[in-house]
Structure 1
Amino acid sequence: MAPHRALTAAWDADRPAIGGWITTGSEMLIEAYGAAGYDYVGIDCQHSTFDERDAAQVLRRLPACPFAMFVRVSKNDPALIGRVVDAGAEGVIVPMVDTAQEAAAAVAAIRFPPEGQRSFGPGRADMGTTTDAIESRVSLFVMIETTDGLANVEEICAVPGLTGVYVGPGDLSVSLGLAPMDGFSTDQIEGPLATIRAAATAHDVVLGIHSAGGADAARWARLGCRLISLGSDMALFRAATVADRNTALDVQAGGTPAPATPYAAR
């Protein structure tokens, strides 16, 4: 299994791969992320209103993209993983992986026999006709987001076939007895992150993480993360609409409007 060329191009340039995050299923917003220069876009089937079947339909309707298309599946289930990779997902993120055995099960869902148990049935015409070709186009990240996962991270990172581990700061914070946003807004999970980074480095797997936005992502990059998802489509829309409303009310009250356009400059 090999990372998408957009990811390797970022790493070759000595910078983290930067991703967008889709919770609405909007193909227009996926294209907008790509036009903005993102390296990958993740479709979230765990915390959104749609599932792997919906994600598969979105993947099939999208033309070939210069960025990588990831899917976070709702759980570590071979049928769900198989559905999205057959539809063309170039990366899969599997949540709540606490043991090496669970990580190995995720790998087995991606790989064909004898190394795995994936059923052969490519759902797109451009995926190739050999098992090696089809396997090689998919990256696999398993999520470390509990104290059990943290305790077992060395063994998890040692599982053959993983591209990387992906930290969920919110759930990891909760598992550590902290408030969910503490992982994004404080340094309280930097110690656990260092443990995860050491294991990832020792086993030559990529360290990925979810961030709350650009400034937060810059901090994770300084701490060694090489794949970083920024704010979701809904988070960005919410922030923009609140800011636009506040600007309008400020202008009405006599303030000075900031230059604004509904279209993002390239």
Structure 2
Amino acid sequence: MKTIWEQGGTGIGLWCILRDPIVLEMAGKAGFDYITVDMQHGFTNWATVEGVVRMLRGTPVTTLVRVSANREEFITRALDLGADGVIVPLVETAEQAKRAADACRYPAKADGLLGGNRSFGPLYADLDGAQDSDETNAKVLCVVQIETATALDNLDDIVNTPGIDAIYVGPFDLALSVGLGGRTYRDSDVMRDHIQRVIDVGNAAGIVVGMHCDGPEMAAYWHDHGARMLTTGHDTTTVFSAYKNLEKEARSLIR
């Protein structure tokens, strides 16, 4: 993902609610740039995330884990288990953004890298953090979610927090927080303006802006308006849609 962004490209992703490693392996081989394993609202928990991440590590996809809260032990655990990065929910201030960024990185002061609070834990054999902390720090992705009115108020400070690689808009929770629950950019100029401001401020600060989308049409819209990390859908709705389309086609042909 970082290479894509450094080259000016856009990452296309899938959001995974299910915890079945077989389903996720198929998703990982489908061609997406990243997959997010949701531990906040999804079925994956600490008993199952290791198997899910291990399965995804065997595919070409970048594996992100959306942790359930901005807690150091959650972030470091997800990374120790093999995630390439984390998405941290409900970040509302620069202090909270710094907490997330520090938890993602080992203490190191190489040129261009920041020290962090991450400690050396159980790592994969091919990821020796104790030997390659600078390299690991450079590779990890720290993405913080902008999904509240308070985050909008503190947006300039959040995007200028060292160690943040991207901000990620949760448009549906953001709508609830600003008193526009159920409204989207499609039917609310206010929501559209809020989201566009997040994108503009992030881009001006040199931070990639991500968007949680309900499908390719929404992803295309926000890509045209400056977002470069686009979740195009959920595994649950994708699987259901495939089943439903198969059933519909079968009934149309079998009379």
Is residue 184–residue 216 contact of structure 1 (8 Å, CA) maintained in 2?
Answer: no
Post-superposition offset of 1:53: 4.3
> Residue 52 of structure 1 contacts residue 73 of structure 1 at CA under 8 Å; is this kept in 2?
no
CA RMSD of superposed structures (Å) = 2.1
**Alignment match, 1:203:** 205
1:82 and 2:76 equivalent?
yes
Q: CA deviation at 1:83?
A: 0.7
The answer to whether the 8 Å contact 1:41/1:69 transfers is: yes
The answer as to whether partners of 2:155 and 2:198 remain within 8 angstroms in 1 is yes
Of 202-211 and 29-38, deviating more is 29-38
- Which position in structure 2 is the counterpart of 1:42? 36
- State the partner residue of 1:226: 228
Q: Percent identity?
A: 33
Contact 1:60 1:124 in 2 (8 A): no
3-state secondary structure, aligned to 1:183: coil
Counterpart in the other structure of 1:125: 125
Q: Distance in 2 between matches of 1:249 and 1:186?
A: 35
Question: Are 2:139 and 1:137 equivalent residues in the alignment?
Answer: yes
| Structure 1 position 136, deviation (Å) | 2.0
Residues 1:184 and 1:242: Cα distance change in structure 2 (over 3 Å) = farther
Give the gaps of 5 or more residues in structure 2: 109-114
Given candidates 28, 31, 37, the residue that maps to 2:22 is 28
Aligned partners of 1:184 and 1:211 also within 8 Å: no
1:97 to 80, 91, 95: 91
Take 1:56 and 1:105, find their aligned partners in 2: how far apart are those partners? 24
Deviation at 1:216, TM superposition (A): 1.2
Q: CA deviation at 1:207?
A: 0.3
Code of the residue aligned with 1:228 in structure 2: it is L
Cα distance between partner residues in 2 of 1:185 and 1:36:
29
Name the aligned partner's letter for residue 222 of structure 2: W
Count the aligned residue pairs: 246
Q: SS at 2:59's partner residue?
A: coil
Alpha-carbon shift at residue 27 of structure 1 (Å): 2.4
SS at match of 1:141: strand
Q: Quick one: which amino acid aligns to residue 218 of structure 1? A: A
Residue 251 (structure 1) shift: 4.7
Q: Conserved in 2, the CA contact under 8 Å of 1:21 and 1:229?
A: yes
Distance in 2, matches of 1:62 and 1:227, equals 19
**Cα distance in 1 between the residues matched to 2:203 and 2:178:** 23
Change in CA separation of 1:21 and 1:54 when aligned onto 2, cut-off 3 Å: same
AA aligned to 1:70 is L
Aligned match of 1:186: 187
CA shift digits 1:202-232 (9 cap, x unpaired): 2211000110011111111111100011111
| Structure 2 letter corresponding to 1:186 | D
Classify the secondary structure of the residue corresponding to 1:119. Answer: coil
How big is each residue's C-alpha offset from its partner over 1:155-176, in whole Å with a ceiling of 9 and x where there is no partner?
Answer: 0001000001000011011112
The equivalent of 2:61 in structure 1 is 67
Aligned-pair distance for 1:59? 1.6
Query: Which of 110, 113, 135 matches 2:104?
Result: 110
* 1:61 Cα deviation after fit: 4.2
- Higher mean alpha-carbon deviation, 75-84 vs 50-59, is at 50-59
Q: What is the TM-score when the length of structure 2 is the normalising length?
A: 0.88
Where in structure 2 are the equivalents of 1:146-165 lying within 5 Å? 146-165=148-167
Shift of 1:183: 2.5
Per-residue Cα deviation, 1:95-140 (whole angstroms, up to 9, x for no partner): 0101111101101111223622111124211113222122222111
Please report how far the alpha carbon of residue 248 of structure 1 lies from its aligned counterpart in structure 2 after TM superposition: 4.1
Q: Determine if contact 2:24/2:55 at 8 Å carries over to the other structure.
A: no
Contiguous gaps of at least 5 residues in structure 1: 255-266
